[in-house]
């Protein structure tokens, strides 16, 4: 009788547990049904996947299901809470990688080195070469910035394996040929690897890293650095927690500073007018201090990413630069203003104009491509912009 009572008690407990589980699942499903989709994640600083349209070709190719899975992952109710919980459980079992981000030593979070999309990358390189041949009288430069996991490989967790970014860069340099001048910042950054040249919680380099790269760029481009004003380092915030922390769930409480380099004497530096073309907004500064009140404080440099930014300066020169870039360029641009009367900045991810018109109307005298390695090897926009002024 006692055994039968125990069995009934165990069965009763199992039923209760099953009902609680079903109830929780029902609540989660209900919350997801009534929750409104979000377009942007402030925490992760990125656009979220939206509900894909059903098409016959999408179903046949399997693309629709991939898109729908990504959509449900991005829009899952309480996603940030679940990501944080998963991260803590992974840490308890010894895992040191989350969503492509390694939890490294000394609070460093390191984005994994991206595997190149070979077909797309080769198309990009071909169109860059074609663009150069069309304007062969105008000097063109390529600066590919290695990612932190390359330069700070000693900060990676034990047994972490990444792509060989140095080998990828060597292949890109060879494919571009001698017509496009390679700006080798890998050696420059490696020489300063013990300094704070990358943020610990963000995928960008710091302004110090950009400063060292600018010095190498100035040497490669034969810029007259006597025009450079004396600069002083200023911390504009000490509470930055970057996108890698948000993406991975690691180091969410870690805060670090953002610095700018400003002239000691404002009269020694050229004045600027920054025109955000599509937004029809003009300002007399390269920095947007309002961004320091937001999650993505790095966006204070040039107010984040825009399709076209036209910077006019009072520099004593007629040189004009076309800068085709990703967000790594944003904190380097202030170092370049003493050398150009105008800097046209194009971000191919958002640009839908015609570069031939830009080249002709603005009398461009030099072109610089500036990307971090991960963005460049996965980019699907450069070729379309360089070919016909339209992104793919």
Between 119 and 66, name the one with better pLDDT.
Answer: 119
pLDDT at 60: 61
User: Counting every residue, how long is the chain?
Assistant: 392
Query: Which contiguous run of DSSP H or E holds residue 275?
Result: strand 272-276
| Bridge partners (DSSP) listed for residue 367 | 140, 322
Residue 390 in this model has a pLDDT that exceeds 50: no
Mean pLDDT throughout 77-98?
A: 61
Q: Are 150 and 165 in contact (CB under 8 A)?
A: yes
Q: What φ, ψ does residue 302 adopt, rounded to 5°?
A: 55, 25
Could you tell me what percentage of the chain is helix, strand and coil, using 3-state DSSP and rounding each to the nearest 5?
Answer: 45, 20, 35
Within 10 angstroms of residue 278's Cβ, the number of other Cβ atoms is 13
pLDDT in tens, 365-383: 999 999 999 999 999 899 9
Give the pLDDT of residue 389: 47
Interval 298-351: pLDDT, tens: 999 999 999 999 999 999 999 999 999 999 999 999 999 999 999 999 999 999
Using an 8 Å Cβ cutoff, are 362 and 322 in contact? yes
**Does 391 have pLDDT greater than 50?**
no
pLDDT, tens digit, for every residue of 242-295? 999 988 989 999 999 999 999 988 888 899 999 999 999 999 999 999 999 999
Q: What is the pLDDT at residue 23?
A: 75
Q: What percent of the chain has pLDDT over 90?
A: 68
**82 pLDDT exceeds 70?**
no
């Amino acid at each position: 009788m006692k055994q039968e009572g125990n069995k009934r008690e165990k069965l009763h407990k199992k039923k209760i547990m099953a009902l609680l589980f079903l109830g929780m699942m029902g609540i989660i499903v209900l919350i997801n049904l009534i929750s409104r989709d979000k377009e942007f994640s402030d925490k992760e600083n990125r656009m979220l996947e939206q509900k894909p349209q059903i098409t016959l070709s999408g179903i046949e190719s399997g693309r629709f299901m991939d898109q729908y899975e990504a959509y449900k992952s991005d829009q899952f109710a309480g996603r940030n809470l679940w990501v944080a919980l998963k991260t803590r459980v992974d840490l308890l079992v010894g895992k040191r990688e989350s969503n492509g981000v390694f939890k490294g030593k000394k609070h460093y979070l390191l984005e994994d080195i991206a595997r190149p999309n070979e077909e797309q990358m080769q198309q990009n390189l071909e169109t860059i070469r074609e663009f150069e041949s069309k304007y062969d009288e105008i000097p063109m430069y390529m600066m590919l910035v290695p990612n932190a996991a390359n330069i700070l490989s000693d900060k990676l967790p034990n047994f972490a394996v990444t792509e060989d970014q140095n080998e990828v860069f060597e292949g890109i340099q060879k494919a571009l040929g001698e017509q496009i001048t390679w700006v080798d910042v890998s050696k420059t950054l490696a020489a300063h690897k013990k300094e704070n040249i990358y943020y610990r919680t963000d995928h960008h380099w710091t302004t110090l890293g950009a400063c060292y790269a600018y010095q190498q760029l100035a040497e490669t481009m034969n810029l007259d650095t006597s025009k450079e004003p004396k600069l002083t380092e200023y911390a504009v915030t000490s509470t930055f927690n970057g996108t890698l922390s948000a993406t991975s769930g690691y180091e969410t409480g870690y805060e670090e500073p953002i610095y700018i380099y400003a002239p000691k004497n404002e009269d020694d530096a050229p004045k600027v007018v920054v025109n955000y073309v599509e937004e029809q907004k003009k300002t007399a500064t390269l920095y947007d201090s309002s961004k320091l009140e937001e999650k993505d404080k790095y966006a204070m440099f040039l107010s984040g990413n825009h399709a076209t930014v036209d910077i006019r300066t009072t520099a004593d020169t007629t040189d004009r630069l076309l800068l085709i870039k990703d967000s790594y360029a944003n904190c380097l641009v202030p170092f370049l203003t003493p050398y150009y009367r105008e800097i046209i900045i194009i971000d191919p991810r958002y640009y839908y104009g015609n570069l031939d018109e830009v080249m002709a109307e603005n009398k461009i005298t030099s072109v610089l491509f500036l990307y971090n390695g991960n963005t460049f090897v996965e980019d699907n926009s450069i070729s379309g912009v360089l070919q016909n002024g339209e992104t793919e």
